[in-house]
Chain A
Amino acid sequence: MSKKEMNDKLNNKPEEAKENRMALDDAARVKVLSPAMLVFKRFIRNKLAILGTCVLVILFLFCFLGPLFYPYAETEIFYGYRDQNGSYAYAQIRKDYVSYWNPECDSDTKTNLDLVERMVNSAIKEIVESGSDSTNVQAADGHYYTLKKFDDEVYALTDSSYVLVADFAGNMLKGIATFRDGHTKPEGDFDKAAAAGISEGSFEFGGLTYDIVKDPKGTKLDYDIYCDLSTGGVDYYFVSTVLAPTFYSEADYQTYSKDSGFKYHAYLSNYTDSKGFEYGGEKFTTASEEGVITLYKGEEKCAYFSAFAASGKDSSVHLSAEFQQALEGVISEMRDSSNAAVGSTATFTFPSPKYVDGKVVTDAEGNTVLEDKVYTVKTEQNDYTVWCDQSTYVILIYDAPNADHLLGTDANGMDVLARIMYGGRISLMVGFVVVFIEMILGVIMGGIAGYFGGWVDNLIMRLVDIFYCIPSMPILIITGAMFDALKMDYKVRLIWMMAILGLLGWAGVARMVRGQILSLREQEFMVAAEASGLSTSRRIFRHLVPNVMPQLIVQATMGLGSVIITESTLSFLGLGVKHPLATWGNMMNNITQKVEYLSAYAYIWVPIGCLICLAVIAFNFVGDGLRDAFDPKMKR
């Protein structure tokens, strides 16, 4: 609508309307507004103040109402599954020979051979060193047994049958028999009995029959003494081996892995003529393929034997035969290459069941989903450890932001967003309580000083001067450190901290209130109040203080910001509000102390710092706006 048209409309108004037009100074023209309304209208005209108010309203809703709708509590700790690199299995190349008894052995025989079994490792060492394929060992009852070598890895104890025990070489004329290594001369006059037996070709001594045979290669007088040391009984008493079976199926593993008797047959089977045995109603056969002995159960592959032994870190981990073969390959490669020093590592991948949230993932048909997983083999002093990422149930520390935790979790596995809300409550509450204490103290002290004047004024103002001079931050730090030393309860120290903050801050308010009251005291309305006989307290609190209110409100709003900064700084230093309670300051405490956390968890502390800034700026904006609204003269 153009100007001209508007004027036309005005001019074309009906006559009576023209007559009712108000005069310029008509009282009805003046819209009467209450002082509070005036202030409010001036306030909402200030854009920054409106912005500050909006920010504050949002902050308050966020901190005080947010937790009601947010599912997590302030100190709720979250647990969950997380891939953690941990030891998964151990492996070693077995060097010690372990013996498996023949199940047919009775317990007396076992007791008799107990010492032999325990010494088997040194006996085998002897065989290896001498390069022979057997050695004789003496049992507890004095009889000799033969430890027979089948293979580098398999030995078995058997009766030593007819063996050369002694000869007369050299000492024939003296009639003294020289015993071979591994045999000792029985007690009694053995030599005499032997000499007597030469002509007959045999003699008996100590319950054993000895045969005397002329040494075909030796001299005329060289005779050898043979003896059948066998006691009769089983073929083999036990098998000693470094091998261990690796079963292809878990069922076989469960059935046979602990069965010593089965193992006895299994290890021996490859060296028997039939290459097989029967055990527990099943038929087993063995075959040697590429140096590896494989055990068949019927036609099926059942297990293979190897000196390489691997086991899971605990009973929950079962290593499959394929995994063990792969691991063996990696380890033998490591042993062949120069990569064999302690601490050296090698990695390999192996398709393994996929875990999500601690459960194996299965596809639609119920088959386990496999994924390639990286395993690291590490050489230790005597064995090898296998490491891999495992789905472990842990406290979710420093969880990255995700759908459950929008800002992740903190060092204690607590939800950051929840703690920001509760922290905001504490920070804002501390601000309000402290400012309230400051205002109460300041109004009372300033009011008394300003109203009464004289020596009261002097005294209070000296007190104000003194409190102005006390360095507050050092005092707060000292008290914080002292609370720490006294191990004060976190709630008690929160109250103390608020009290101290309030006590250190009232001087400014008192000075301002006193100044205002000094000037107001002389004004006419106070004279009128005095003349109408009002009581002193009524005059102070009903007539003077309300007039100081605007400045008080402004100072309180500005003060809130600085108290929030002080509190967060103290909490940041670890000397303010303590752990179970969250505040914006102490949430930043741990994270910014370490360099690696500083950058890695910036998503936690940067928003918190911004919130502190935002709150303080908003309080300052509102304070500025209020000051301008209360006292328009100050603004140009």
Chain B
Amino acid sequence: MLKFIIKRVLYSTLILFLVMFVIYTLMASLPSGYIEKQARMLSQQPGTQKSYDQWVEEMEANLGMDKGLVEGYFTWLGNAVQGDFGESWNWTVPVAQKFNDVVWYSFVLSLIAFVLEVAIAIPLGILAAKKQYSFADYTVTVVALVGISMPTFFLASLLKLVFSVKLGWFDIGGMGGRDHNQLDAWGQFLDTCHHMILPVITLTIIGIGGLMRYTRTNTLEVLNADYIRTARAKGLSEKRVIGYHAFRNTLIPIVTIVGGSLPGLFSGALITETLFDIRGIGFVSYHSMVNGDIPFTMFYLAFSSILILMGTLLSDILYAVVDPRVRLN
């Protein structure tokens, strides 16, 4: 088992190394002049502390884009491994610091949505499988499909229209109301929670469909298995058949997929956060990318690919942990 994990981790590191190289190549091969143009624009902004030359110099020192591709990559990687991703152009603070400031908002937002998704999707998925072709099944299937098919921006706009504009229950965006600063600590907390409700609903509805569908399919497969027939033949109560024999087996693929999406909680919700002005990592990265903030963009790309890899790795390992049949092979 340990050997399996070590092998997987080493392999993932290799892939990560290559992915980073691809990303670096991509950024380095941006049409010539784009980075210089951004640097020039930055140096002309009011209140800037650095001249154009300083910007370019600092960027080259950190990203190594003045050197060759391979050498530059190692310069950047060397800095990145030490946690030095340079200074963000858009936010004018070190990238690592900005990341640290905002990542927890994203994490909390995603975590709440994730818990809700799991809590709603798994029971409903199992219910739908248990009563296949019933009204409940069709409802779950259709809701799941609508959730999958709904573009985030459309759902967010709809929620804004209904709950913010028409009903006036929530603000249209942002993380605090107009009088946020006048509130005491507890009031500020409640205010922020209030502003998180619509983003959480958006994320939950978007995410719930896939998991619900997956649970349903897997439960159906398990319910068709021989050991379920055996359990029924032995005269076990339906409750025990479903709740004990079937449920534990259903959980195998679900645990792997749920575990695999855990690292993704840190990656932030790019679209949702941007649309609702939640200043998490997704919002910050979106604005960095749109404004040509190369250091932060490099960091975010690297960070996202690490999270994706970690997700795959985690689900592989969890699969082996949960399912003894895999371990035997």
Contacts and interface: CB of A to CB of B under 8 A. Distances in A.
A588 B160 contact: no
B160 A598 contact: yes
A481 B289 contact: yes
A161 interface: no
A477 B22 contact: no
Interface string A582-621: 0001001000100100110010011001001100110011
B22 to A, nearest CB: 6
A35 interface: no
A609 B152 CA distance: 10
B285 A613 contact: no
Interface residues of A, number: 40
Contacts of A572: 151, 153
Interface string B191-223: 000000000000000000000000000001001
Interface in B16-53: 16, 18-19, 22-23, 26, 30-31, 34, 37-38
Nearest to B33: A486
A466 B153 contact: no
Interface stretch (B232-240, B244-252, B303-311): B303-311
A598 B289 contact: no
Interface stretch (A114-122, A217-225, A468-476): A468-476
Given A468-B308, A470-B305, A481-B291, A565 B151 contact: yes
A491 interface: no
A609 B291 CA distance: 27
Contact of A595 (B23, B26, B165, B220): B165
B31 A486 contact: yes
B271 to A, nearest CB: 6
Contacts of A616: 148-149, 151
A609 B158 contact: yes
A549 interface: no
B178 interface: no
Interface in B158-183: 158, 160-161, 164-166, 172
A39 B224 CA distance: 23
Contact of B289 (A478, A486, A612): A478
A568 interface: yes
A569 B153 CA distance: 7
Contacts of B261: none
Taking each of A466, A565, A592, A612, which has the highest tally of chain B beta carbons within 10 Å of its own beta carbon?
A466
Query: Interface majority SS on B: helix, strand, loop or mixed?
Result: helix
Interface in A394-441: none
Contact of B151 (A477, A481, A568, A602): A568
B301 A475 contact: yes
A317 interface: no
Taking each of A561, A606, A612, A613, which has the highest tally of chain B beta carbons within 10 Å of its own beta carbon?
A613
Given A471-B305, A609-B151, A620 B37 contact: no
A613 B18 contact: no
B157 A592 contact: yes
A569 B297 CA distance: 19
A482 interface: yes
Given A470-B23, A470-B305, A474-B301, A606 B149 contact: no
B302 to A, nearest CB: 10
Nearest to A618: B149
Interface string A99-119: 000000000000000000000
Given A478-B289, A482-B30, A599-B161, A613 B15 contact: no
B309 A469 contact: yes
Nearest to A589: B153
B289 A466 contact: no
Nearest to B209: A620
9 contacts: A469-B15, A473-B270, A477-B290, A478-B297, A481-B292, A482-B31, A565-B149, A572-B151, A609-B151
Given A481-B290, A573-B153, A585-B151, 18 more contacts: A470-B305, A473-B271, A474-B304, A481-B289, A482-B34, A568-B153, A569-B151, A569-B271, A602-B161, A606-B158, A606-B161, A609-B151, A612-B151, A613-B146, A613-B151, A616-B148, A616-B151, A636-B132
